[in-house]
Structure 1
């Protein structure tokens, strides 16, 4: 979500974006492989899942979308200044609070790669897995629209 938001708003060069996305994908897959070495794949390896019965697919999508958007806005606006020293605390608090909101409802992936690595390694693909891709990526387009207005 954040990398795509930076791409859409022109805050990163195209070759940097491609490098980031490839690195994030490879890192997620390697991390998933390490999880598979450490744990039995029947555990799901930490793959985010919906709390079915209490959270609908649509609610899960909006949790992913809104929490990722919140984190992305914080990252976007705290890293556009000259000094990034002040960015750590607000970003950490945003991630922590988003995790508290989504962890027991949809697993709080908040990032495509956070879902992809364990999902591929454990072969855990559910009918609602699209929310972990569409939510974070969808929020990127929303950030682009909002930042273009200002």
Structure 2
């Protein structure tokens, strides 16, 4: 069945363009406290407060993170099985291209965070509500674990299930430093390309995918270029090898916090309307949707 939603995607069905009428409808049906919540937001953001779509956003994060970890962790596993037919360059490009595709095909649903530090960074920038961070992080963990379990069932416990580890000849300290700096660049790219200062729209997917590929091409021999705690957490949990996991849980978080600080210096507080739309998605706000 196809709905005909208002341009705002507002659940009460009031017509867009008449803010006063919408305010009265909400106040009448839901009371002054709910009305006050809506009044503090721009009209395009009302869709995100509609919790009836929350399950779609969380499913989007599960599905997207599953695909990302499947590509990122699966490439080393299949490279091991095929005796080197995948190669390092393809292993680096696979997750980068996967992220690009995911942002393009369902970024409007949840914002396609796919990474806990991205959700935290958007929340620190006040483009994303803190109350949604736990749900998003839980969904990302579930998606990553599903991918790791899939690889274990299909291929067996090979190549550490694509776990990210410090490379041969590199220390844990070096891997930590590289992961923090790589994540600084990744989150800076995400926040910058999403902000109203740049407002490059769908080209942000290309920017993010390109950065992930670039980071992996020069730094994957050092640390695996994870930049994502759940991408590293899932293979480690499924294989039971937690030895170097601390690097990949803490370094990306530090990098993300530094990126938020850099974004404040570069553009001031918040990413503007464009940054909020990028963080939250625009589910059900751009015309007919199939429900």
Name the TM-score, length of structure 1 as normaliser: 0.90
Q: Tell me the equivalent position of 1:76.
A: 191
- Indicate whether 1:90 and 2:211 are aligned: no
Which of 118, 123, 137 aligns to 2:235? It is: 118
Q: Tell me the equivalent position of 1:19.
A: 135
Cα distance in 2 for residues equivalent to 1:59 and 1:29: 27
Cα distance in 1 for residues equivalent to 2:186 and 2:256: 11
- Following superposition, the deviation at residue 42 of structure 1 comes to 4.5
Cα distance in 1 for residues equivalent to 2:233 and 2:218: 21
Could you list the per-position Cα deviations for residues 34-77 of structure 1 after superposition, in whole angstroms to 9, with x for gaps in the alignment?
A: 1110122243100011113x211111001111111111111111
- Following superposition, the deviation at residue 147 of structure 1 comes to 2.6
Could you list the per-position Cα deviations for residues 110-135 of structure 1 after superposition, in whole angstroms to 9, with x for gaps in the alignment?
A: 10011011111111221x32110111
Q: What secondary structure does 1:49 align onto?
A: coil
Q: Unaligned 5+ residue runs, structure 2? A: 1-116, 269-291
Which of 157, 178, 186 aligns to 1:41? It is: 157
Name the TM-score, length of structure 2 as normaliser: 0.48
Which of 48, 60, 66 aligns to 2:181? It is: 66
Q: What secondary structure does 2:227 align onto?
A: coil
Q: Point out the more displaced range, 91-100 or 33-42.
A: 33-42
- Indicate whether 1:4 and 2:120 are aligned: yes
Q: Point out the more displaced range, 92-101 or 38-47.
A: 38-47
Return the structure number with greater relative CO, CA threshold 8 A, min gap 6.
Answer: 1
Q: Could you tell me whether the CA contact under 8 Å between 2:233 and 2:245 is conserved in 1? A: no
- Indicate whether 1:56 and 2:171 are aligned: yes
Cα distance in 1 for residues equivalent to 2:130 and 2:165: 33
Q: Point out the more displaced range, 64-73 or 98-107.
A: 98-107
Could you list the per-position Cα deviations for residues 20-46 of structure 1 after superposition, in whole angstroms to 9, with x for gaps in the alignment?
A: 111101111111111110122243100
Count matched residues: 148
Q: Unaligned 5+ residue runs, structure 1? A: none
